[in-house]
Amino acid sequence: MDKRFAALALAAAMTLILRAPAQAADVICYNCPPQWADFATMLKSIKVDLGYDIPFDNKNSGQTLAQLIAEKNNPVADIAYYGVNFGMKAKAEGVVAPYKPKGWDDVPAGLKDPDGDWTAIHSGTLGLFINVDALGGAPAPACWKDLLKPQYKGLVGYLDPSSAAVGYVGAVAINNALGGSAADFSPAIDFFKALHKNEPIVPKQTSYARVVSGEIPILFDFDFNAYRAKYTEKGNFAFVIPCEGTVVFPYVASLVKNAPDKAKAEKVLDYFLSDKGQSIWANAYLRPARPIKLPQSLQDKFLPAADYARAKSVDWAKMESVQNAFTARYLAEVR
């Protein structure tokens, strides 16, 4: 097992007994939290249409993989959901099984594993999710480098890039935007070192509610969370694609190897990629993995295309291959 997962794997193994009640559910999906990507609506819809109970699960991508590894010889989960880089790691660790859901052929080649060990179900664009009312009179930042200004001291948050997929995506986005590459993460490391002088908040878990409450006024997060707040919460929320640029990131799902409820899990994965499933993701402001047409009323809720032109696709297989090196530097030089 990769040493960087050792501590998380041990913690996961220690908590297995706490998961025992959930095994009575129809399907177990690791990292399906209600406040992320509107899994609340998705899992309710699955209950109505398939009759399956799927408990909410608040892990992040790294914790999900660690627990899959800890349970490798006696799997508890049926489905795993995570950032694409962790889907690649899960395949390498041998904890997932090939399955090509219905609609798999419609997913672009770069968004799925050729063997079916992971398949994108939606994607998001990383940027700044801002609670404007919590800025204390400071203007909404327009660029990554704005966050280093003294006026944003204590106002900025980002998920831990050594554990959470969105945290690493943020590091890749900043690194690319500031002139780095897969071979050189120094721009990102230097940025985080400078940002830490501004006392950022660094949670490990999804922090949507903490932005809505104003506890974290600015969070490195995806567009879908910011739009959800803007259009469904009380308050003044904004999404900013930094002036230097950012990245687009796919989230994927896998069938767990030797899943206890394999047949039901496969039907859930089919549902994720179905027209109805993809529409649920789209209504939660995510970009569907299959090319379905979004209604104009929904398209109008996103930032203009000119802003999204600053969001680039990257080779996530290459970024996954250098993640260990980045994580080691981040832990040694920043945290």
Check pLDDT > 90 for residue 181: yes
Higher-confidence residue of 305 and 30: namely 30
Predicted TM-score (pTM) of this structure = 0.80
**Residue 133 DSSP code:** G
Q: How confident is the model at residue 142 (pLDDT cuts 50, 70, 90)?
A: very high
Residue 77: CB partners within 8 Å, gap ≥ 6? 28, 29, 30, 67, 68, 71, 256, 259
Q: State whether 82 and 132 are in the same domain.
A: no
Q: State whether 185 and 317 are in the same domain.
A: yes
Nearest to 174 by CA among 130, 224, 128, 124: 128
CATH number at residue 313: 3.40.190.10
Q: State whether 263 and 213 are in the same domain.
A: no
Q: State whether 243 and 139 are in the same domain.
A: yes
pLDDT by residue (tens digit) across 255-302?
A: 999 999 999 999 999 999 999 999 999 999 999 999 888 889 988 999
Q: State whether 59 and 165 are in the same domain.
A: no
Residue 118: CB partners within 8 Å, gap ≥ 6? 84, 87, 88, 90, 91, 96, 112, 252, 253, 254
Q: State whether 86 and 234 are in the same domain.
A: no
Q: State whether 290 and 325 are in the same domain.
A: no
Q: How confident is the model at residue 25 (pLDDT cuts 50, 70, 90)?
A: confident
Q: How far apart are CA 148 and CA 118, in angstroms?
A: 37
Q: Which residue has the tokens 């209604």?
A: 295
- Please report which residue ranges of 60-185 form alpha helices under DSSP H: 61-70, 84-93, 165-177
Q: State whether 291 and 167 are in the same domain.
A: no
Q: How far apart are CA 135 and CA 151, in angstroms?
A: 9
- Give ∠ CA 230-226-199 in degrees, rounded to 5: 120
Tokens of 278: 């993809």
Q: Average pLDDT of 242-246?
A: 98
In the chain, what percentage of residues exceed pLDDT 70?
93
Write down the pLDDT at residue 14: 41
Q: How far apart are CA 172 and CA 182, in angstroms?
A: 8
- Structurally, the chain folds into a number of domains equal to 2
Domain that holds residue 35: 3-123+250-299
pLDDT by residue (tens digit) across 49-94?
A: 999 999 999 998 999 999 999 999 999 999 999 999 999 999 999 9
Q: State whether 106 and 136 are in the same domain.
A: no
Residue 16: CB partners within 8 Å, gap ≥ 6? 70, 71, 76
pLDDT by residue (tens digit) across 208-234?
A: 999 999 999 999 999 999 999 999 999
The DSSP bridge partners found for residue 221 are 127
Write down the pLDDT at residue 22: 40
* Residue 38 to residues 45, 56, 189, 204, Cα–Cα distance (Å): 11, 11, 32, 19
Q: State whether 37 and 150 are in the same domain.
A: no
Nearest to 112 by CA among 131, 140, 84: 84
* Residue 83 to residues 6, 132, 152, 188, Cα–Cα distance (Å): 20, 28, 29, 20
Q: How far apart are CA 249 and CA 153, in angstroms?
A: 28
Q: Tell me if 287 sits within 8 A of 122, measured CB to CB.
A: yes
User: What does the DSSP assignment read for 28-66?
Assistant: -EET--TTSTTHHHHHHHHHHHH----------HHHHHH
SS3 for 227? helix
Q: State whether 185 and 273 are in the same domain.
A: no
SS3 for 111? helix
Check pLDDT > 50 for residue 312: yes
Q: State whether 112 and 166 are in the same domain.
A: no
Check pLDDT > 80 for residue 8: no
Write down the pLDDT at residue 335: 82
Q: Tell me if 250 sits within 8 A of 316, measured CB to CB.
A: yes
